[in-house]
């Protein structure tokens, strides 16, 4: 499981828009997370797991910096994905990760930690 398959990514702007409009929002460190549970009948990965979309704007930096931030975010999500299987509230969801300007100067550990903390906060929000 060293790849990040396309089935786990958000591709269409309508999916991003739904997450922004209907999802729960958490701000933490260099990232902002939007989480939206998928409705029955919506497309998703074959295993029923979550999909992720990344938004890294020009405010973060030039193309080299933006691509490095995206690599760090994808890797952090890839490593956290097995933990998400334990949380039913986070499993069948669409997650949009928006990198803030401070993500450019952050290392991979900082990004992974803020992503993990943000997901824990979202889990608490979604649980009854």
Label residue 41 by pLDDT band (50, 70, 90).
Answer: low
Label residue 53 by pLDDT band (50, 70, 90).
Answer: very high
CA distance 63 to 68: 9
Ordered by start, the domain boundaries in the chain are 9-126
pTM for the model stands at 0.88
Do residues 68 and 6 touch, judged by C-beta distance below 8 A?
A: no
User: Which CATH number among 3.30.230.10, 3.40.630.30, 3.60.130.10, 3.40.50.80 corresponds to the domain 9-126?
Assistant: 3.30.230.10
């Amino acid at each position: 499981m060293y790849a990040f398959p396309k089935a786990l990514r958000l591709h269409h702007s309508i999916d991003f828009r739904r997450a922004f409009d209907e999802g729960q929002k958490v701000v933490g460190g260099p990232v902002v997370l939007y989480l939206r549970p998928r409705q029955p009948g919506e497309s998703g990965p074959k295993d029923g797991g979550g999909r992720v979309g990344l938004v890294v704007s020009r405010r973060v930096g030039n193309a080299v910096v933006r691509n490095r931030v995206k690599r760090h975010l994808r890797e952090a999500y890839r490593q956290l994905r097995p933990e998400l299987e334990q949380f039913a509230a986070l499993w069948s969801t669409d997650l949009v990760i928006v990198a803030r300007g401070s993500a450019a100067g952050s290392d991979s550990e900082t990004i992974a930690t803020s992503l993990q903390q943000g997901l824990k906060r979202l889990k608490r929000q979604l649980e009854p």
